Structure 1
Amino acid sequence: MPSPFPQSVDVLAGVVLKAPIAANAKHLYSPEALSFVATLHRTFNKQRLALLAARETEQQRRDAGHFPDFFPETAFIRDDATWTGPVLAPGLEDRRVEITGPTDRKMVINAFNSDVATYMADFEDSSTPTWFNVVDGQVNLYDAIRGTISLKTPKKTYLLADKRHPTLIVRPRGWHLHDNHITVDGEPVSGGILDFAIYFFNNAKYLVANGAGPYFYLPKMEHYKEAALWNAIFCQAQSAIGLPIGTIRATVLIETLPAAFQMDEIIYSLRQHSAGLNCGRWDYIFSFIKSLRNHKEFILPDRSQVTMKAPFMASYVQLLIETCHKRQVHAMGGMAALIPIKDDAKANEAAMNNVRSDKLREVLAGHDGTWVAHPALAVEAYNIFNKHMPGPNQIFKPVDASLPPKKKITARDLLSPSVGDAKSEVTEAGIRTNIAIGLGYTEAWLRGIGCVPINYLMEDAATAEVSRSQLWQWIRHGAKTTNGKVITADYVSQLVGEVVGGLIKDAKARNAPEAYNQAVSYFKKGAIPGRNGEYDNFLTLDLYEEISKKTAGGRGVAAFGASKL
């Protein structure tokens, strides 16, 4: 693709690669593509950093007791019933079942072969951003889009089936993540800008020519101005390569507490690029704890008790669906993270019943689609949605006048930590579960694995963040277990030692004790308040600095001598 920028401008001056580009990816990281990355970085990174700094300011306000609320200055956006999102994009009309997962080659092939409507290829929570994974993911998506992807292993050869494939949606990294392997004028590039730019530059026109488009999921945003930043990037990117404004579509994950108070504003900020909003259970719980961490009244019980039926979670879901349908865009449901239990039919059926119940709750609430983590769950989700949603979505479904009107959701509804009818309790078993999930995931992440099956559930960065944040919250406020034991740093450290001992004992040969020992160090730093009550905003930020020191190749990366392009 020819460069979209004037040739008289040396755009690549100041761009430094600190890791090699594999031979099979050089066409994707061409000088033209890297010029595109550099231009977006220079235009927008200053604003990104300012928005991240604003997050810290807002957290200080919450720590001081200024809790999230609906902005009075944007009431005109919320109150104006005349504006809507754009007409649904090609391939995004029916999204009743979406599969999600990382961008490794096997996963991409299996996802493209799945009987689902769409596939969210994930560079974020289910991917560890080693340089190998970042580059390899772009190669795999490029090949899959063109139907040339295959994988030969000692046991099996994976090929694309001759059938309709799901519409592809890509989730780039969140605004808080950078990438150490490309610097522009001495600054590491934004991981989100890098993921977006390489994918968009190399695939957008091909996708449009084949009846789809460049579609994205946008994670972890805390303010509508962060969505407006994406909108500005989309406009410049489309103009640069000659695509009409509005070709890009983006679904925003409402997975932070502050964003729940700004749903109308986020859709409005994206204008003609909006493809709706999504409910993200685990990240939302993580953000609830993180945002309100300084206040004892917001302590949550064992994570197993914090379901989507908890009043504060149900309020969030209701508001999201009402907001999306008012604006005529999709309201997407959450994840069925179950992995089929092949060796226990009774346990598997019980688990499937839980999936069916959850998907029934979603479709009856008004969601237009849902997520699954495993292809085997797609049929279960389809059965429920097909029965209760005969059309491609529920966006235009009229309100049933025979039912009593729903309660208007207030700020207090979104902030209440109530779990409803469930008995709210913290147990030692819950502490141990959080430690096992957090350590297991951290150890895998350090090896370059961004999603890991634990107890027949697919765990990713969001669940690890919930696990360590709950421990931090319980220690910080001296919560007690049901047995009356005060949860202290020493008590949690003792249980960490016991749990990691069992993990090492049961681990396979590839999981050496040293890897778990390293995981313990990072996990405890994130889970145990510092001397002055410090809290790490993201567990993965420290972990990223560790993995980005290692050599590229395999599933890790190592430092290379910087070489200018």
Structure 2
Amino acid sequence: MASVDSVLQGVSVSGKVDDIHRKILTPEALAFLALLHRSFNERRKNLLERRKARQAELDRGVLPDFLPETKHIRENPTWKGAPPAPGLVDRRVEITGPTDRKMVVNALNANVYTYMADFEEMIQSANSVTDSSAPTWDNMINGQVNLYDANRRQVDFKQGQKEYKLRTDRKLPTLIVRPRGWHLEEKHVTVDGEPISGSLFDFGLYFFHNAFETQRQGFGPYFYLPKMESHLEARLWNDAFNLAQDYIGMPRGTIRGTVLIETILAAFEMDEIIYELRDHSSGLNCGRWDYIFSVIKKFRNNPNFVLPDRSAVTMTVPFMESYVKLLIQTCHKRGVHAMGGMAAQIPIKNDTAANDKAMEGVRADKLREVRAGHDGTWVAHPALASIATEIFDKHMPTPNQLFVRREDVTIGQNDLLNMNVPGTITEEGIKKNLNIGLGYMEAWVRGVGCVPINYLMEDAATAEVSRSQLWQWVKHGVNTAEGKRVDKSYALKLLKEVADQLAASAPKGNKYHLAAQYFSSQITGEDYADFLTTLLYNEITQAGPPSPASKL
């Protein structure tokens, strides 16, 4: 095997490296990242080009369907995914949140079964338990430090007069890490002149430092895998898992990955995605808002896919209900978990009636999920854990319901593409989209990737839905329920009104007008960035001069 020094030739770090970071950015860990990059980055880039080719097909009116070349995989009833791993048998309530040190402690102290530590969208602001993160260098590398310490039960700290300590009266939730998606890069680390994949950076550092430690704590190196669009992207993850396990001498199949089905194209390849990851699969998850975003994004040029106000696009409309049914049926057929979606509500402390109404909404949503056959669900705030647990305990007395096969379900292409969604487009709906989109983008350029707006935790997915709907409505010149044609001038007029209102009511130095500049280019039916986060990445990153990794 090549020496660490030789592998580190061509590896540079341009982010600030404090003393506390050196236990993460060791020469050995950076050499492992370099190996991952050199092994897989070319394939990653090719798969991203393949996404562009698929988009061109959709723009020509070619609709997605189940792949004929993988029919033998879908129709073979004998193969299964991996059995549930230690710490992943019962996942009835999972909390998601940032890798900020306070949130790590709060999440691990919550009465939940697993905690998804999020590098993709999450980090915490100073003011909220569950604000989430934009991928600044500090956020990413401090998050790795916090998870390193958490796995070693050394994450206690004091902030002002308040102490944050891990509880010792019960077993802590199983830790699962969500790295960034394949489309994102970490420009502060370059290998042979190229920025490393954000996915491989997040996965590689966490795995290298924590794989054996997580086993000592009774679980293992577990991951949530976001934003995939095909089974070939799952194959890339599987190959990275195998290389990583071989590299440190860990048996293959120790890693587990739960895939978020949050793109319409992945919905047609759920069997294949589990198959590619089958020795490492821990199931699929319904990523509802990202999924709705994907539908709008992929079919944005098709007038048959125009949706009404986002408040009308619920989990019970035909295309969403079909997606859920197929996901549960597919997972249970293959013996893996089918996880439900996020409850984004946060407690309303100063209005009892409004809070009670919001919590009833959470109960209804979780009841729908458990009755459909889901094995667990997500919450964004610890206060919702008891509600979700109560519902799942009552209706799912077993650790999971993999035995609910949903053989009554038959879902085809038309079901997944059924856009028969009742509802209208209103000026109120447009302003709501502008409010959410600007609120999210303004926070993101300040380094915060998830913000409370109207007592809902809004993240990148809901902001993407907001701007994509506006783009689509302008593109196709729809009329509102009030009889107003939605064109470029009307959209920009409302954008200015909402931006001015938000800026005037926010603290001095806010970035609403900067957010509006970015947003204006994304709602006029012309330019369309694949992701808001890539559009804004340079606003939050300031890479310094590169330093050779061997000199850190």
Q: Name the aligned partner's letter for residue 70 of structure 1.
A: F
Alignment of 1:502 onto 2:501: yes
Stretches (4+) displaced over 6 A: none
- Residue pairs, 1:299-378, within 5 angstroms: 299-378=306-385
Q: Within 2, Cα distance between the matches of 1:62 and 1:414?
A: 15
Q: Name the aligned partner's letter for residue 69 of structure 2.
A: E
Q: Within 2, Cα distance between the matches of 1:528 and 1:198?
A: 40
Q: 1:165 to 1:8 in 2, by over 3 A?
A: closer
Judge conservation of contact 1:11–1:38 (CA < 8 Å) in 2: yes
Give the equivalent residue in structure 1 for 2:449: 450
Q: Within 1, Cα distance between the matches of 2:211 and 2:360?
A: 40
Q: Within 2, Cα distance between the matches of 1:18 and 1:474?
A: 42
Give the equivalent residue in structure 1 for 2:125: none
Judge conservation of contact 1:102–1:450 (CA < 8 Å) in 2: no
Give the equivalent residue in structure 1 for 2:158: 152
Q: 1:487 to 1:91 in 2, by over 3 A?
A: same
Give the equivalent residue in structure 1 for 2:128: none
Matched length? 538
Q: Name the aligned partner's letter for residue 72 of structure 1.
A: P
Shift of the alpha carbon at 1:145?
1.1
Q: What are the ranges of 5 or more consecutive residues in structure 1 without an aligned counterpart? A: 400-404, 550-558
Judge conservation of contact 1:118–1:169 (CA < 8 Å) in 2: yes
- Residue pairs, 1:529-544, within 5 angstroms: 529-530=525-526, 534-544=527-537
Alignment of 1:217 onto 2:224: yes
Alignment of 1:254 onto 2:261: yes
Give the equivalent residue in structure 2 for 1:93: 89
Shift of the alpha carbon at 1:545?
1.8
- Which of residues 516, 520, 534 is equivalent to 1:520? 516
Q: Name the aligned partner's letter for residue 137 of structure 1.
A: G
Shift of the alpha carbon at 1:8?
7.5
Q: Within 2, Cα distance between the matches of 1:102 and 1:429?
A: 31
Judge conservation of contact 1:523–1:539 (CA < 8 Å) in 2: no
Alignment of 1:561 onto 2:550: no
Q: Within 1, Cα distance between the matches of 2:385 and 2:545?
A: 46
Secondary structure of residue in 2 paired with 1:271: coil
Deviates more, 1:206-215 or 1:148-157: 148-157
Secondary structure of residue in 2 paired with 1:60: helix
- Which of residues 120, 125, 129 is equivalent to 1:124? 120
Secondary structure of residue in 2 paired with 1:119: strand
Q: 1:314 to 1:8 in 2, by over 3 A?
A: closer
Shift of the alpha carbon at 1:120?
0.4
Shift of the alpha carbon at 1:102?
1.1
Shift of the alpha carbon at 1:237?
0.1
User: Residues 208-267 of structure 1: CA distance to partner in whole angstroms, max 9, x if unpaired?
Assistant: 122110000000000100000000000000000000000000000000000000000000
Shift of the alpha carbon at 1:19?
1.4
- Residue pairs, 1:441-480, within 5 angstroms: 441-480=440-479
Q: Within 2, Cα distance between the matches of 1:142 and 1:98?
A: 20
Q: Within 2, Cα distance between the matches of 1:312 and 1:329?
A: 23
Percentage of matched positions with identical amino acids: 58
User: Residues 49-108 of structure 1: CA distance to partner in whole angstroms, max 9, x if unpaired?
Assistant: 000000000000000011110000100000000000111100000000000011111111
- Which of residues 29, 46, 50 is equivalent to 2:46? 50
Secondary structure of residue in 2 paired with 1:343: coil
Q: Within 1, Cα distance between the matches of 2:103 and 2:198?
A: 21
Shift of the alpha carbon at 1:362?
0.2
User: Residues 301-357 of structure 1: CA distance to partner in whole angstroms, max 9, x if unpaired?
Assistant: 111110001111000000000000000000000000000111111111111111000
- Which of residues 415, 423, 434 is equivalent to 1:413? 415
Shift of the alpha carbon at 1:407?
4.3
Q: Name the aligned partner's letter for residue 198 of structure 1.
A: L
- Which of residues 45, 57, 60 is equivalent to 1:64? 60
Q: Name the aligned partner's letter for residue 486 of structure 2.
A: I
Judge conservation of contact 1:221–1:259 (CA < 8 Å) in 2: yes
Judge conservation of contact 1:223–1:262 (CA < 8 Å) in 2: yes
Q: Within 1, Cα distance between the matches of 2:395 and 2:267?
A: 27
Secondary structure of residue in 1 paired with 2:442: helix
Q: Name the aligned partner's letter for residue 148 of structure 1.
A: Q
Q: Name the aligned partner's letter for residue 533 of structure 2.
A: T
User: Residues 360-381 of structure 1: CA distance to partner in whole angstroms, max 9, x if unpaired?
Assistant: 0000000000000000000000
Shift of the alpha carbon at 1:148?
0.9
Q: Name the aligned partner's letter for residue 193 of structure 2.
A: G
